[in-house]
């Protein structure tokens, strides 16, 4: 159980923060809500107290004997501000301490992550840009808002991300606080990343398909990690058990053929291509146009043909300077065996990096956690274990190392 302070500033998106409290508490975290006085115009103290199970204060004058303006910031594992308004960003950037939340921002020694939400004009205003840049320079993780419909008729960047994605970022920073540095520095800014996720489905007839157990979580984690670190991300999503992150562009596909087409369309303009999808290796030679009927007592023999190897095709046609990452799902007898199988697969596919995981006994598929060995042509680059979101950051780290080692050389 971690201690989280959720700062809420006075914007209409404050109502979405109720869901953030819920989700963090569902994950077992202790959440204290610290609204600004203006936030209470949108959602009242009673709601925050009931949802968090803690009393709520906005100023530094209540309970002064416990010195809350210093103690709360010192004794928390994460400070999360959602929504952060233009005014809150300005006060934080100026180092003001005129209410409890800004006092906490000055005393916290843990990662601080802010999710701005405001009208597009305010987000794009030079003053806000400068405040965001100042905060990021100081190591505060300021997550770009989503684009989409805002309150009223306008639309553009300024929406608060989905509470599921806010929780995912919070949990990543709780699990690996050091990632706050990379996220604040946005070390992937300027890079276009295309990542595939989920399992493809090959139609047998109008109602049946061949598929696999891929949940899409690894690809979603990579998309989220790359986005958090400033990349422009497109997620090519086959069937997944989870919703894609709210702030990435999504291209939906069904079969391996569709996936190949989408990847071949998007890859030429990408700096980094990551094939986390589990494409079906076989497809029906001739999918039946009518539903296949069962014939009493008889089984069914399917005539299957191999699908395109998307990764190998992309690697063979890669433009100069592009990094291509593949995955290897292996049923290995040992770590050495896993690396040997991965090394052969890396050479066969022509990728720059291969993320190898052992799937013996159905491990990994659908699990929240994973353990991987990342290899390149020279051998093991990194080994990591943890939630798929945290492992996704290690994959991104390996991509950055690969780009300095091979691409720029």
**Contact positions toward ligand CTP, by CB under 6 A?**
256, 275, 277, 279, 281, 307, 309-311, 326-329
Yes or no: say if 20 and 46 are a contact pair by the CB < 8 Å rule.
Answer: no
Give least dist CB 98 to ligand CTP, A: 52
Distance, in Å, from the CA atom of 388 to the CA atom of 196, rounded to the nearest integer, reads: 15
Closer of 327 and 365 to ligand CTP (Cβ) = 327
Per-residue CA distances from 17 to 43, 75, 204 (Å)? 9, 22, 45
Task: Give the β-pairing of 353-358 and 323-330.
Answer: parallel
Closer of 196 and 246 to ligand CTP (Cβ) = 196
What sign for the dihedral angle of Cα 164, 170, 174, 175? Answer: positive
- Intra-chain end-to-end CA distance of the chain, in Å: 45
Closer of 162 and 309 to ligand CTP (Cβ) = 309
Altogether, the residues listed in the chain come to a count of: 409
What are the phi and psi torsion angles at 379 (to 5°)? 135, -150
Instruction: Please identify which of the residues 38, 103, 131, 212 carries the catalytic annotation.
Output: 212
Nearest-CA neighbor of 388 among 207, 176, 232, 234?
176
Give least dist CB 275 to ligand CTP, A: 4
Residue 271: partners with Cβ closer than 8 Å, 6 or more residues away: 191, 192, 193, 321, 322, 323
Is 212 considered catalytic here?
yes
Closer of 244 and 326 to ligand CTP (Cβ) = 326
Give least dist CB 213 to ligand CTP, A: 12
Closer of 8 and 364 to ligand CTP (Cβ) = 364
Give least dist CB 394 to ligand CTP, A: 16
Give least dist CB 194 to ligand CTP, A: 12
CA angle 60, 65, 70 (to 5 degrees): 50
DSSP single-letter state for residue 150:
-
User: Which residue numbers are catalytic?
Assistant: 212
């Amino acid at each position: 159980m971690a201690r989280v302070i959720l700062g809420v500033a006075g914007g209409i998106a404050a109502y979405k923060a109720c869901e953030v409290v819920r989700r963090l508490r569902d994950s077992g975290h202790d959440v204290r809500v610290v609204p600004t006085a203006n936030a209470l115009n949108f959602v009242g103290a009673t709601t925050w107290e009931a949802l968090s199970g803690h009393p709520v204060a906005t100023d530094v004058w209540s309970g002064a004997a416990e010195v809350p303006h210093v103690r709360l910031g010192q004794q928390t594992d994460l400070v999360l501000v959602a929504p952060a308004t233009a005014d809150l960003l300005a006060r934080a950037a100026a180092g003001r301490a005129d209410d409890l939340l800004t006092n906490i921002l000055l005393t916290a020694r843990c990662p601080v992550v802010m999710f701005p939400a405001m009208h597009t004009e305010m987000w794009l205003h030079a003053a806000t840009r400068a405040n965001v840049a100042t905060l990021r320079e100081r190591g505060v993780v300021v997550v770009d808002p989503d684009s989409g419909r805002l309150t009223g008729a306008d639309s553009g960047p300024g929406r608060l991300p989905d509470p599921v994605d806010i929780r995912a970022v919070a949990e990543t920073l709780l699990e690996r606080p050091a990632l706050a540095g990379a996220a604040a520095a946005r070390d992937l800014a300027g890079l276009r990343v295309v990542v595939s996720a989920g399992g493809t489905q090959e139609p047998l007839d109008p109602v049946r398909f061949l598929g696999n157990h891929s949940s899409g979580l690894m690809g979603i984690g990579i998309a989220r990690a790359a986005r958090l670190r400033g990349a422009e991300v497109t997620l090519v999503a086959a069937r997944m058990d989870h919703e894609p992150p709210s702030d990435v562009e999504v291209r939906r596909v069904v079969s391996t053929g569709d996936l190949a087409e989408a990847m071949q369309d998007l890859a030429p303009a990408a700096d980094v291509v990551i094939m986390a999808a589990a494409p079906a290796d076989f497809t029906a030679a001739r999918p039946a146009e009518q539903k296949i009927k069962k014939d009493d007592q008889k089984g069914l023999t399917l005539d299957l043909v191999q699908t395109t190897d998307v990764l190998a095709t992309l690697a063979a046609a890669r433009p100069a300077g592009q990094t291509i990452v593949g995955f290897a799902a292996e049923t290995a007898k040992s770590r050495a065996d896993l690396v040997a199988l991965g090394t052969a697969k890396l050479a066969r596919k022509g990728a720059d990096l291969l993320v190898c995981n052992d799937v013996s006994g159905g491990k990994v598929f659908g699990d929240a956690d994973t353990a991987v060995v990342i290899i390149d042509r020279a051998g093991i680059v990194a080994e990591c274990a943890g939630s798929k979101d945290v492992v996704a950051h290690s994959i991104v780290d390996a991509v950055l190392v690969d780009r300095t080692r091979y691409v720029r050389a």
